[in-house]
Chain A
């Protein structure tokens, strides 16, 4: 057993230890037990509150694809641009390909691959996004994204918009996209 595991075991076993000192030991109700119990309760509360804060990501199934946590950055005014991200999982046995994207309220919608390093950040349009069979692709801040160029209106935090995708196999589909001020 590793020392850390041993220490953990000791810590877990601790409230029961007074029972080992004799057959007639009273139930562990002393101040130390109360201390430990309240610590444990506090810990459980912290875990619970952290869990309830964490919103489950949205999943939009489209044929054999699953779009997870599709989101776009909020914008303050018309005429600006925004980036859109998602994770997409291909549950099927055939490769899929996003051939084009369209957001009705943008002058143009483009798939961009993005990369570089801290000295130079670059972004270039790309023709398609390949999603291999049983594979997963992630568009994320600082990486590849879909750019909504010259939006006709401001995108408001909390609203849901629709993005149209043209898939090589699946045809034209719409996915819901959450607008957020911290994508």
Chain B
């Protein structure tokens, strides 16, 4: 390959890369507005969706006895935020417990502290949980497990919701989404610094 051809190839791949990352981001409309009073939040401060400070919200419905998808998702968020560097300050993480019966605020706090995320755990009352799951069209089903020490489990949606600083829903990411793709999405939604 001549050096000119090599240069063309490089140019072409750069152009393709640029084209791929310039694909317009989805806008799925305004996210449901929710408010959790301070007594429902591990931060001991009221939490609103969208964020009053204009940060991006990563919202997940989960519970601390979820051994699989929840840790996986939080690990993924951790990796994505690490690659954002200083820009991670434009992002916050909310975990709404779908098992508020067992997920006390101290338990949620310990669970989330492990991941060292800018995260707030929310322990909604029944009405608030229904409002939140309806708003985001999330299915949550408490299922008795008579043969398990758990007693019951909560079948739940594993999607991660991305809400931008203006309160618009920008993505509903399935569990298979890779950390790099989440990082890419966040990088495109956050300002340069």
Contact = CB atoms under 8 A, between A and B. Distances in A.
Interface in A101-153: 107-108, 110, 112, 114, 116, 118-125, 141-142, 145, 147-150
Given A73-B71, A150-B149, A80 B1 contact: no
B147 A125 contact: yes
B153 interface: yes
A142 B155 contact: no
Contacts of B75: 181-182
Contacts of A75: 114
Nearest to B3: A32
A22 to B, nearest CB: 20
Given A79-B107, A120-B139, A145 B67 contact: yes
B157 A14 contact: no
A90 interface: no
Contact of B110 (A76, A120, A142): A76
Interface string A10-21: 010010000000
B153 A123 contact: yes
Contacts of A183: 71
B174 interface: yes
Interface in B92-119: 107, 110-111, 113-114
B107 A121 contact: no
Nearest to A109: B149
B9 to A, nearest CB: 11
Contact of B65 (A74, A81, A118, A141): A81
Nearest to A77: B110
Nearest to B174: A118
A119 B175 CA distance: 10
A26 to B, nearest CB: 19
B145 interface: yes
Which bucket holds chain B's interface residue count? 20 to 34
Given A119-B139, A122-B143, A125-B148, A83 B156 contact: no
Interface in B137-193: 139, 141, 143, 145, 147-150, 153, 155-159, 174-175
A149 B155 CA distance: 17
Given A141-B72, A142-B68, A120 B157 contact: yes
Contact of B175 (A11, A118, A125): A118
Contacts of A182: 75
B174 A76 contact: no
A178 to B, nearest CB: 16
B158 A81 contact: no
B64 interface: yes
Contact of B156 (A32, A120, A142, A147): A120
B159 A80 contact: no
B69 interface: yes
Given A32-B3, A125-B145, A181-B75, A73 B67 contact: yes
B145 A124 contact: yes
Contacts of A120: 139, 141, 155-157
Interface of A: 11, 14, 32, 35, 73-77, 79-83, 107-108, 110, 112, 114, 116, 118-125, 141-142, 145, 147-150, 181-183
8 contacts: A76-B111, A110-B148, A114-B68, A116-B155, A119-B157, A120-B157, A142-B68, A149-B150
Ranked 7 nearest A-B pairs via Cβ: A108-B149, A76-B114, A83-B67, A118-B174, A77-B110, A125-B148, A122-B155
